[in-house]
Amino acid sequence: MRLKQIILLVFVVCSMGVHADEGMWLLGNLNKQTRQAMKELGLQMPADKIYSPRKASLKDAVVSFGGFCSGVVVSEDGLVFTNHHCGFSSIQQHSTVEHDYLKDGFVAHNRSEELPNPELYVRFLLRTEDVTKRVLKATDDSMNEAQRTMAIDSIARLISDEVSRKDSTLVGVVDAYYGGNEFWLSVYRDFNDVRLVFAPPSSIGKFGWDTDNWMWPRHTGDFSVFRIYSDKNNRPADYSPENVPYHPPYVAPVSLDGYKEGSFCMTLGYPGSTERFLSSFGIEEMMNGMNQAMIDVRGVKQAIWKREMDRRDDIRIKYASKYDESSNYWKNSIGTNKAIRKLKVLEKKREMEATLRQWIQNTPGEREELMHLLSSLELNYKSRREANRALAYFGESFVNGPELIQLALEILNFDFEGEEKQVIAHLKKIIEKYEDLDLSIDKEVFTALLKEYREKVPARYLPPMYQTIDTLYNGDDKAYVDTLYARSEITTLRGLKRFFEKDTTFNIIEDPAISLGIDMLASYYDMNFEMREASEKIERDERLFNAAVRRMYADRNFYPDANSTMRLSFGTVCSYSPFDGAFYNYYTTPMGIFEKMRDHQGDPDFEVSPRLLELFCAGDFGRYADEKGEMKVCFISNNDITGGNSGSAMFNSKGELLGLAFDGNWEAMSSDIVFEPELQRCIGVDVRYMLFVIEKYGEAANLVKELKIK
């Protein structure tokens, strides 16, 4: 009886203003309705303290971390908190069998020990500006979609160049919103000297690994710590031993007060992409094309990688980062397709489209322009269905498959005439691929993916190498792959060196791997060309569809789809019931870690270091415990997030840091397409657990002293 009362109370709390909780809002365009909704949920700070283009505000503490994650600045000396999985690649690059920072963690005891990461940068947003009128002025109704895109790209480049001409340390980016109906300029400043300061061992930062990924309850200490460096004038600078810690205009304060059921929670970060306005035809294509290709192909590739990673430590270190990146979106695709079916997302979208169709027919101005909009979408998606699906499998099987092909494509795209800095960076990227490559594993992957692609697509989409395999190798994929790797010069750094030194005795185009790369590009181009006409019409119709939906529901408060620009989402800390008879609390504790260790005995993904277990058993959590003396590890809110939000700051009503967002939940994996307020949850690691690990486990109290703790 008590459980039912608790669940009822949770639904009452979480259903208050559920529409307000949905949305990834532009900070520079927070309307009165959105600001009021935030206040009603408990926000205690004015909007100009969150975002201001003229004075220091909360947004100045939030960064895009490497262009693929988010982070938050927490000290006056440029310390940045982000997720462990966001820093994973950097941690892996510094790891060796002798110094295994992935397994053992890393602590810089002083600033001279902080490790540089030449390819890593952080990006600060300075301001945003609506440039829609200026951009659309460059277009007219007589243009087809390709011409319109070209005109928009040209004016966008012009606007961006104006920013950097005024200040060479600034970057201007014009992004499309609402399906290409609006355009905003974002002005950024990038810092390229970012150093690793602290990383917990993977047994903390990746506790549960693939099994727990996208799941709640969660017990993962998914965080790492970096520091931003600048020149002596506090300006951006490339790495140099002479650089000094960056002093930001705003530092996010840290709260040790925690949260309760229904507490206001606000997330600031850089969500990657959502498709909330996509038509049902586009959703169906995504399910059967890109998502299914990712599920099938990555499943094959990752099984080979994981087997070898479990056998050898050197392979585990080499392949850890690429496995982590690959498996994350593989499991995401599995969950997304499952959730779309279970939550009847397509059916709901089609109901809305039926309403839209009726509205168009009943509205004279709309009827004249859009009478055949939905029919056109249906026809053109159907026209490109087969080619689009083949292209998805092609991309996963070959472009994103064997690393030999990836190397061949990197070499073919190498620009000797580029800026020296870019040439060096590109060269380093290629060399790093060699360092993390095992040829025997790559050959096995290539052989397996040849078979997988052949089974999944019609014969007319097989590239020329399949004819070679059938005629010269009697259909033996392995014999073909073995010969290819044996004959290619670019399987080793020696061949790469001959290429870069422009050895006149080495004709790179005649190398069999390079020739294969050229064939792959031709096949990729052919499939895209087959879809060109349909794709242009789809792009136009989806833009018109997006605008029509907003006009039909003109009284609603619309937010644009995520597009890797800074967004704010807000809601409450909130438990949920994923299915009948189940109730998930809004936080987890170390007790859950012990329980998972017991339930997964012998599984290395759930191993915990004896030292951490000792600290848990001692129960000396100090000021990081709650009022009951308990340590909270992770918590959930109904904030609206997606990929790219990893590492996003989760703030309380006063703009104080509660933790870092690092995941969504399995039951709402269709969230990129539709928001489900009763199910969707944002999983965060509690900042108090982070500080406990840093101070007690890592013995790095000096880092904690840098923070502004409330």
Active site residues: 85, 222, 646
CA distance 58 to 7: 35
The DSSP line for 206-261 is: TTTHHHHTT-SS------EEEEEEE-TTS------TT-EE---S----B-SS---T
Angstrom CA distances, 302 to 311, 325, 405, 634, stand at 14, 11, 17, 28
* CA diameter of the chain: 82
User: CB under 8 Å to 563, separation ≥6 — which residues?
Assistant: 175, 176, 177, 273
According to DSSP, residue 34 is labeled H
Tokens of 29: 């365009």
What is the CB neighbour count within 10 angstroms for residue 3? Answer: 10
CA distance 181 to 136: 9
CA distance 290 to 227: 37
By three-state DSSP, how is residue 662 classified?
A: strand
CA distance 57 to 46: 10
In this structure, what is the dihedral angle of CA atoms 682, 687, 688, 694, given to the nearest 10 degrees? 130
User: CB under 8 Å to 252, separation ≥6 — which residues?
Assistant: 58, 61, 62, 72, 73, 74, 649, 651, 655, 656, 657, 708
CA distance 651 to 322: 31
Dihedral-angle region of residue 474 (phi above 0 means left; psi in -120 to 50 means alpha; beta otherwise): left
User: CB under 8 Å to 172, separation ≥6 — which residues?
Assistant: 159, 160, 161, 162, 163, 164, 185, 186, 187, 188
In this structure, what is the dihedral angle of CA atoms 328, 593, 707, 121, given to the nearest 10 degrees? -20
How many residues make up the chain in this entry?
710
Contact predicate 35/225, CB 8 Å: no
Contact predicate 457/396, CB 8 Å: no
β-strand partners of 570 = 266
Query: 392 burial class (0-12, 13-18, 19+ CB within 10 angstroms)?
Result: buried
Angle between helices 439-456 and 403-412 (to 10 degrees): 90
Q: Which stretches of 223-372 are DSSP H helices?
A: 280-286, 292-311, 313-342, 345-362, 364-370
Sign of CA dihedral 293, 299, 301, 302: positive
CA distance 463 to 452: 14
β-strand partners of 70 = 64
Contact predicate 523/463, CB 8 Å: yes
User: CB under 8 Å to 681, separation ≥6 — which residues?
Assistant: 216, 574, 576, 636, 637, 638, 664, 665, 668
CA distance 71 to 125: 12
Tokens of 481: 């792959």
